[in-house]
Structure 1
Amino acid sequence: MATGFFGEVSKIPFNPDAGPEELAFRHYDPEEIVMGKPLAEHLRFAVCWWHNFVWPGGDPFGGQTFDRPWFEDRASDPMEAAKLKADVAFEMFTALGVPFYCFHDADIRPEGDDFAENTKNLNAIVDVLERKQAETGLKLLWGTANLFSHRRYMSGAATNPDPEVFAFAAATVKTCMDATHRLGGANYVLWGGREGYETLLNTDLKREDQQLGRFLNLVVEYKHKIGFDGAILIEPKPQEPTKHQYDHDVATVYGFLKRHGLENEVKVNIEQGHAILAGHSFEHEIATAAALGIFGSIDMNRNDQQSGWDTDQFPNDVPEVARAYYEILKAGGFTTGGTNFDAKLRRQSLDPKDLLFAHVGGMDVCARGLKAAAAMMDEGVLSAFVDDRYAGWDQKGAQAMLAGERTLEEIAGWVEEQNVNPAPISGRQEWAENIVNRYV
């Protein structure tokens, strides 16, 4: 039975000529063929549970602004409230026509008094989600465990100085992996929101690195034991709330994986906002992951350029999105991953339909960016320029240097003998930027 939360809204149509107040896609036609496959298959959209159905609209300077009927302050029965939340969530997913969704365990189940009650509540809601997936055809892009909100995790989860917290977190991840596996999830994500430090005066970095490495190895071992075919993903984040985290950016994650023998087992889920906090661009992080062979999935959002923290806003910058999808297409596109909107309404956007308008706008921006990126790939102007710029490295002598077939003395002798005196060649950055702007 429909909840009526979104009024009479059903499936949102594709209508390029829609008026400003109409809920319709202007650019995202899921069946449009781009580079040989539908846009829906390229983008693999997912909607997250936490920002849309859990977040109360607070910020560091003010509390709840949203009034949802399933919130705890209005719920006499937490489990019934969680089921209502699931009903509304699937109504929203269906209206948007997205193929996937994502959740933390704490998003979908009430918090219990202990681990056993948490697990019981989680399994009861997974029963509900399993039925709803069968009814709607929706799938789970990834599941994850919330190992950062509860006060037990104030000093980290895997990196906590208390081994009982480590064990509680490990047990929680097991239940969440079981739920993800049961729901046919395409991936399982780990985000270490509290895996960092506030001061080195009470922190043993070497010990914490070892703990986190053992924790992740336990996850990988369990994945293989239960036959989970999805990818294990780490989501890099550089700061906020802690000063340093062991997954600061893609390159840091790769170093961590290599250190613990996991570079062939784990990939990354890259968020735009986290990339910016790390001092990088979104496309830099995607390109780095692709170059290192660990690209998995993305969280699509943006930060407020006037704020120095992770504001999780819906994307609205088509050129930026196009550059990101250009790197994804160059890497071969998504396999198990997709485009998850890890974005939330502004706390003044109170109406239920604001949730729909936000996602429709974000999906249109992504569609425009993906189509621009595909056109850039198809015409190959930039790729041809880059190939030509590095063409000298395809020559026999250059290949010998890279292969370790020339010593430093031999290279120096060749430079002196041939009177090598290279003239600088323009990198043509402004021209390249102009090329991108022609497509967006």
Structure 2
Amino acid sequence: MKDWLRFAVCYWHTWRGNGADIFGLAGTQERPWDTSDTLEGALERVDVHFEFCQKLGVELYCFHDRDAAPEGATIAESERIFDQVVDKLAAKQKETGISLLWATPQLFSHARYMNGAATNPDPAVVCHAAAQVKKCLDVAKRLGGENFVLWGGRDGYQCLLNTDYKQELTNYAAFLRATADYAKEIGFTGQLLLEPKPREPMAHQYNFDSETTLGFLDHHGLIDQYALNLEANHGTLAGHSGEHEVEAAVSRGKLGSIDANRNETLLGWDTDMFPTDPALSTYIMKRVIDQGGLEPGGLNFDAKVRRESSDVEDLFIGHINGMDNYARGLRAAAKLIADGTLDSMRNGRYSAFSKTPIGKRFTAGKASLTELAAHAVSNGEPKQASGQQEKYESIFNAFAYRG
């Protein structure tokens, strides 16, 4: 099962989260490993992180640069601090066999990025973001990272009145192109991934959802350089489901990796809860099996224990619940595929496009509008066919909930 379920522990929620929210900034979770934002504290957290992964039996992890190492007063100082932490990460990887699924630059918390990173109206800020991406790519290569993720949390707008929308999209494409070029230059062979999210912290983010992001990449000639890292949470915020976002990516061959979590759908913000929905995990794993797997991507638990869950034990239980949920989803998906009923029914709905002359010509792009209209006139009113939604749901649920 581990070939299909490439679980990863995230550094940010797991080691830097303390239960804080906007109504309680002090937090509720006292963690002995998170006593200071210093180099010494960062080095101590490396030991805690690898011990936790070993106890869970998880062989992959992910981090933002600023989760792993504190930022210094200058770029040079930040890179020196980062290098010392990376030295220890590399040593622990060698010692334990645990490896890096992906790294990502944290381009949204510092005040310099309040107006954007890649899309900032000030070229000096864009250059600073570029320096951070460059260093993080170097580190990802050194640690054998299988992927590199960019999430443009501030790359969007708060106010259209002060935003040159076209300029920002042009600049964003230029930044992504430069990133892909540098990855190639240094010989980084991992996947480059964009992570869509519609809003939060910005009112509108340019990587709004799967379709928007893929359309943007297509438009700017970057579709071959990037795939998607998808999070069910973010799909919910975009007015979609996690299943929809995965389907949109798989349909284009662009599902690169998954941030495995769920959202409290009654709320309007990103809640990053551990995944416990068997229907969601079954659907996702079915599409993963259909595309032949997720490697070099994985299932990263971008999830945090609740503010009210203040015991260290809760960290273990949250991850174990998520792993169990996806294991059940994988088994259910495999049985669903082996049964074949659902796929056969769905394929049957569209079979006329491969079996009838007019269907074949239309799909091949050879039928004109005049030819299609003439076919309608000569054949009369089509026979009504039920969509059978209830039957599809019954079949799917029989596997998702009963296995």
TM-score bucket of the superposed structures, by smaller chain: over 0.9
In the other structure, the counterpart of 2:17 is: 55
- Counterpart among 157, 180, 185 of residue 225 in structure 1: 185
Alpha-carbon distance in structure 2 between the residues aligned to 1:403 and 1:364: 44
In the other structure, the counterpart of 1:412 is: 373
Cα-to-partner distance string for 1:133-158 (whole Å, 9 max, x where unaligned): 00000110000000001111111100
Alpha-carbon distance in structure 2 between the residues aligned to 1:52 and 1:405: 55
Alpha-carbon distance in structure 1 between the residues aligned to 2:169 and 2:126: 13
In the other structure, the counterpart of 1:44 is: 6
In the other structure, the counterpart of 1:268 is: 228
- Are positions 1:326 and 2:286 aligned together? yes
Alpha-carbon distance in structure 1 between the residues aligned to 2:359 and 2:279: 36
- Letter of the 1:241 counterpart: P
- Letter of the 1:145 counterpart: P
Are 1:283 and 1:327, in contact at CA under 8 Å, matched by a contact in 2?
no
Alpha-carbon distance in structure 1 between the residues aligned to 2:320 and 2:234: 23
Alpha-carbon distance in structure 2 between the residues aligned to 1:304 and 1:323: 19
**Moved runs in structure 1, 4+ residues, more than 4 A?**
none
- Letter of the 2:122 counterpart: D
In the other structure, the counterpart of 2:244 is: 284
Q: How does 1:47-196 map onto structure 2 within 5 Å? A: 47-63=9-25, 64-71=27-34, 74-75=35-36, 78-196=38-156
Give me the TM-score of the superposition, normalised by structure 2: 0.97
Give me the TM-score of the superposition, normalised by structure 1: 0.89
In the other structure, the counterpart of 2:360 is: 399
Query: Structure 2: which 5+ runs fail to align?
Result: none
Matched position secondary structure for 2:315: helix
Matched position secondary structure for 1:268: strand
Shift in Å, 1:41? 0.8
Are 1:248 and 1:278, in contact at CA under 8 Å, matched by a contact in 2?
yes
Alpha-carbon distance in structure 2 between the residues aligned to 1:130 and 1:291: 37
- Letter of the 2:28 counterpart: T
In the other structure, the counterpart of 1:36 is: none
Question: Which segment drifts farther, 276-285 or 177-186?
Answer: 276-285
Alpha-carbon distance in structure 2 between the residues aligned to 1:334 and 1:118: 33
- Letter of the 1:409 counterpart: T
- Are positions 1:316 and 2:309 aligned together? no
Are 1:144 and 1:188, in contact at CA under 8 Å, matched by a contact in 2?
yes
Are 2:33 and 2:48, in contact at CA under 8 Å, matched by a contact in 1?
no
Shift in Å, 1:420? 3.0
Matched position secondary structure for 1:426: coil
CA RMSD of aligned residues (A): 1.1
Alpha-carbon distance in structure 1 between the residues aligned to 2:55 and 2:367: 62
Matched position secondary structure for 1:141: strand
